[in-house]
Amino acid sequence: MASLGPRLTTDGRLPGARFIASPNQDDRPADAAICLLVVHAISLPPGEFGGNGVKHLFTNCLDPDAHPYYRELHGLRVSAHFFIRRDGSVIQFVPTLRRAWHAGISHWRGRERCNDFSLGIELEGCDDQPFTHIQYVRLARLIRILRRTYAIEEIVGHSDIAPARKTDPGPCFDWQRLRQLLRR
């Protein structure tokens, strides 16, 4: 597992993370300062870990015939800046300078379109299984790196910015554990 570099590069990439470019990104609005970090959880197929489903979804290569659930996702265009696998490996899909399509219809503290001013981090997981220790360690490390570049004011779950639509990262995500790791 590669060690994450101490800072982002000038083009918004994370040294030590595997980079796989997602087409599901675009320019941020010129006046949109990054101030929010959104934690998500995803597994494809649902509840299964270690496969290429998420990578294929974020790169528009998901075969709708590979699993019955994938038919529901056919044509969906989504991405995230980062994906932390169960083993702690980190894949970056979108440079932080660009807008990833992770939040969808969303709002936070009176502001709509959270993709404009946030970074999205997906954890390989689901609502009903605990996340791994190394995922928390990697997430805390990534947050510290991102805070060196951006004035991250808050860290929230996808369920916080889209409560009528989303439940992730779910009840098994331990926010207290993350806070403790961030204090180290």
Chain segment 110-141, per-residue pLDDT in tens = 999 999 999 999 999 999 999 999 999 999 99
| Catalytic-labelled residue, pool 48, 72, 122, 124 | 122
pLDDT of 144 above 80: yes
Q: Using CB atoms within 10 Å of the CB of residue 98, give its burial: 0 to 12 exposed, 13 to 18 middle, 19+ buried.
A: middle
Q: Which of 168, 94, 96, 89 is closest to 128 using CA atoms? A: 168
Q: Letter for the amino acid at 104?
A: G
Chain segment 48-69, per-residue pLDDT in tens = 999 999 999 999 999 999 999 9
Chain segment 37-50, per-residue pLDDT in tens = 999 999 999 999 99
Q: End-to-end distance of the chain based on CA atoms, in angstroms?
A: 22
How much is the mean pLDDT over the chain? Answer: 97
The CATH topology of domain 18-183 is Lysozyme-like (3.40.80)
pLDDT band at 2 (very low <50, low <70, confident <90, very high): confident
What is the distance between the alpha carbons of residues 26 and 19, in angstroms, rounded to a whole number? 17
For the packed helices 175-183 and 133-149, what is the interaxial angle rounded to 10 degrees?
60
Active site residue 72: no
Task: Tokens for 97, please give them.
Answer: 């300078």
pTM, entire model: 0.97
pLDDT band at 1 (very low <50, low <70, confident <90, very high): confident
Chain segment 77-117, per-residue pLDDT in tens = 999 999 999 999 999 999 999 999 999 999 999 999 999 99
pLDDT band at 71 (very low <50, low <70, confident <90, very high): very high
Q: Which of 55, 47, 51, 117 is closest to 82 using CA atoms? A: 55
pLDDT number for residue 130: 98
